[in-house]
Structure 1
Amino acid sequence: MTRYAPGTPAWFDLGSPDVAASADFYTRLLGWSADVVSDPGAAGYTTFTSGGALVAAVAHHQIDTPYHRPYGPDGHKGMPAIWTVYFATDDADALTKRVETAGGEIIMSPMDVLGMGRMAVYADPAGAAFAVWQKGAMEGAEATGIPGAIGWVELVTDGVAAARDFYAATLGLTPVDTGLPGITDPVWHLNGTPVAGTRRLGVTGAVRPHWAVAVAVHDCDATARRAAELGGSIENPPADTPRGRRADLLDPHGAGLTVIELAEGFPAAAGRTS
């Protein structure tokens, strides 16, 4: 398996109020296979594979992120389901100290996960939650950047200026302006390699900063139509962009999901691609 350099998006899972229903939706939409982890301590954690390669997972949502806390005069909550992006680290404890120093929030302190690795969850100064993964028996996704796997991740935020300093100080990411038409926000580079993008809050119906995933697909239009047939919805219909033809969807539990036909030559998520 390809090694993920610290700071690279390495794992992706969905927090859902109904794991079985979410697994059914994503397997039917994307052709994934779902397998419940047999260890009782995994509490029903369900992994997704595509073409035999581990690509993502779904679990019952138990993480208290800023995205799910009450807000507004009526105590309305954000989306009841959301994807989490895990960045590789070789020292979760040291990274936790960097997050604190940089003004982030510690949502979940570093903890061991069934011998598979060590994880922690944070929020940046604008409230976008993200996780880190220190590998044990599991290194991360076995495929990224190809149809059927996560093709790209993006920070969706209204706090770009603060994010530039925060992610440089914590994950070692460098914000680089692309110069591409229609893309005004930075792409995050790690040692000169693009690993993530940025999107302005408000492009979709999401009202709070968060990290979003884009699944690479062969046919964006057909996948969007299929999502609606399966009980999801289309927030932004398929459209051509410099990154490729993409659509913004909501799954049946409200989790945002982008599907994208990656443009030839455009950098996809780092990691194993074959």
Structure 2
Amino acid sequence: MLTTRFPYGAPNWIDLGSPDLDASLAFYSSLFGWRPEPAGPEAGGYVLLRLDGRTAAGAMALDPDRGRAGWTVYFRCADALGTAEAAGVAHGTVVFQPTEVRGLARVAGLKDPAGAAFRVWQPDPVEGLEAATEPGALCWVELHTPDVAASAAFYHRVLGVETSGVSFPGGTYTSLYPAGAGEDAMFGGVVTTLDDPADTGRPPQWLPYFGAADTDALVARATELGGSVRMPATSVPGVGRLARVADPHGYEFALIKGDPAQEA
């Protein structure tokens, strides 16, 4: 489960790059109740998105030279430079070298060999998000890729992430957890794009899941605000009720309300 303790290798930040930042802030504020707050003049226009006064995400105007459109997942690391070098050795791509984001962290932009973009976050001084695993906050991340085994090997080599197979109706899910932390610390999974119609024609990506008190209500609200449904709300025994949607710019994310039996 994602927590705000953020062990090395686990997701600890997420942000949105948008060509129309004001419109995106309006959409997500209406959907999740987030309140935008400028990170300060030294942060170059970066915006913190607050949930009940705690940081749940970040956002910025799209910078095509260094950023990417849509949601980007960050993983906590001890050494951004060393992690970027490890990604290159493992046949990934360094999109941009470690850079200081004043008042927040040292970050690097990377892609895995299949092309899925992600970033690493070396705290300086901010450890990570202040809200996680609750309605309106990041609670899971999922890599959609054509080769599950190859991707799992890459992230193990670069981030130390370990995997295990979790049985569910219809198959086995490849889960992710920090090195040495055990399966109780699972924070995400890896699925093949070959089996998901919602991935047809889409490049590999990290899909963030945000917690929902009522998945169906949030899906309806997202469409009212100009978003679209990529996968309708569906109940998965032992997991919860989840849906996959896109904001008005087409940037995807998922919603989930956990199964009470699983949470017990």
Which TM-score applies when normalising by structure 1? 0.87
Shift of 1:241: 1.5
Q: Does 1:151 align with 2:139?
A: yes
4+ residue runs over 4 A deviation: 63-66
Structure with bigger RCO (C-alpha 8 Å, 6+ apart): 1
**Unaligned segments of structure 1, at least 5 residues:** 69-80, 268-274
2:106 to 105, 118, 123: 118
Shift of 1:44: 2.1
Q: Which residue number corresponds to residue 252 of structure 1?
A: 248
Equivalent residue pairs, number: 253
Shift of 1:65: 8.1
The 10-residue stretch of structure 1 (145-154 or 174-183) with the greater mean CA deviation from structure 2: 174-183
Distance 1:183 1:233 in 2: 28
Amino acid at match of 1:233: S
Q: Which residue number corresponds to residue 210 of structure 1?
A: 205
Q: Which residue number corresponds to residue 174 of structure 1?
A: 162
Shift of 1:95: 0.9
For the residue of structure 1 that corresponds to 2:172, the secondary structure is coil
Amino acid at match of 1:259: L
Contact 1:156 1:212 in 2 (8 A): yes
Q: Does 1:198 align with 2:200?
A: no
Contact 1:150 1:213 in 2 (8 A): yes
Contact 1:147 1:215 in 2 (8 A): yes
Contact 2:80 2:107 in 1 (8 A): yes
2:225 to 198, 223, 230: 230
Contact 2:66 2:96 in 1 (8 A): no
Distance 2:150 2:65 in 1: 22
Contact 1:65 1:129 in 2 (8 A): no
**Unaligned segments of structure 2, at least 5 residues:** none
Q: Which residue number corresponds to residue 94 of structure 2?
A: 106
Q: Does 1:24 align with 2:16?
A: no
Amino acid at match of 1:18: D
The 10-residue stretch of structure 1 (177-186 or 150-159) with the greater mean CA deviation from structure 2: 177-186
Q: Which residue number corresponds to residue 38 of structure 1?
A: 40
Shift of 1:175: 1.7
**Superposed CA offset, 1:129-184 (max 9, x none):** 11010001211101111112111111011121211210110111112110122353
Shift of 1:233: 0.8
- RMSD (Å), alpha carbons: 2.0
2:13 to 11, 32, 43: 11
Amino acid at match of 1:204: A
Q: Which residue number corresponds to residue 162 of structure 1?
A: 150
Distance 1:63 1:55 in 2: 24
Question: If each structure's helix is expressed as a fraction of its own residues, which one has the higher value?
Answer: 2
Q: How does 1:131-150 map to 2 (within 5 A)?
A: 131-150=119-138
Amino acid at match of 2:61: H
The 10-residue stretch of structure 1 (256-265 or 237-246) with the greater mean CA deviation from structure 2: 256-265
For the residue of structure 2 that corresponds to 1:143, the secondary structure is coil
For the residue of structure 2 that corresponds to 1:25, the secondary structure is helix
Which TM-score applies when normalising by structure 2? 0.90
Query: Percent sequence identity over matched residues?
Result: 38
C-alpha spacing 1:141/1:105, structure 2 compared with 1 (3 Å): same
Distance 2:175 2:258 in 1: 15
